[in-house]
Amino acid sequence: MSLLEAIILGIVQGLTEFLPVSSSGHLELGKAILGDTSLPQESMMFTVVVHFATALATLVVYRSEVSRVALGLWQRENNDEFRFSVKILLSMIPAAAIGVLFADEIESLFDRQILLVGLMLWVTGLLLMVADRSKTTSKDVSFSHAAIIGISQAIAILPGISRSGATISTSVLLGVDRNKAASFSFLMVVPLILGKIAKDLMDGGIHINEGQLSVLIAGFVAAFLTGMLACQWMIKLVRNAQLVYFSYYCFIVGTLAISYQVL
């Protein structure tokens, strides 16, 4: 992978992580279009690094909410901050369990599985279309909501299923306030990504050669900067209930991906 390709893919990750169009799916499509021939382990490493970049972008944009979560866990008092923190942790369990139990199977999904990406983009599009038609919502995220939203995040491990699209749509369909749905969706993935990095470091699963380092840095910087912009943009889009436009986009890109693979 060249530096230019890494920057392009980093921008793709930064823009699509917070938009409900599947960043992992777009990364796989981008790698295929650019003719990336990286080994599956190297390809997965790049994916993890650029996801780490957008996780840091989330921490910056939602720094006040992150402080609230950290304070709640630190004080461990039965207050709003602590309960919100527990809900975040509860939402992580399904995806964390899937990630640990099926790590090898998941890695194989990130090896230019274009047909799978196309089909799952159609699933994402349908979900967004249904959620966009839901009525105005005003509920807080409850503990049961957190568990259900966590299951949708676990399903979104599949490339082509938008994580933000699945979790925000699920929240809206459960009656959660759109602003709170967006905040919860973006915050709940940060511990998972940081945990994935920590686990790989402890297990010795991260091996970076000198030739790959510059590529990873370029992708990281591009993803972080564009992720900062996309995160703030997505908040406004969710508030204004414009998810349906992204469903059309998912249908188009999904169809193109399927056609690319089949024809």
Closest to 69 measured CA to CA, from 54, 56, 84: 84
Q: Which of residues 43 and 90 earns the better pLDDT score?
A: 90
In the chain, the DSSP E strands lie at none
CB 48 within 8 A of CB 196: yes
Domains held by the chain: number = 1
Question: Which domain, by its residues, includes 147?
Answer: 3-262
Confidence of residue 121 (pLDDT cuts 50, 70, 90): very high
pTM reported for the whole predicted model = 0.79
Half-sphere exposure of 114 (CA within 13 A, CB side): 16
CB 150 within 8 A of CB 100: no
Compute how many other C-beta atoms are within 10 angstroms of the C-beta atom of residue 75.
Answer: 12
Closest to 74 measured CA to CA, from 64, 85, 58: 85
Q: 153: exposed, middle or buried (C-beta count within 10 Å: 0-12, 13-18, 19+)?
A: buried
Kindly report, residue by residue over 172-218, the tens digit of the pLDDT: 888 888 778 888 887 887 777 777 777 766 766 556 666 678 888 99
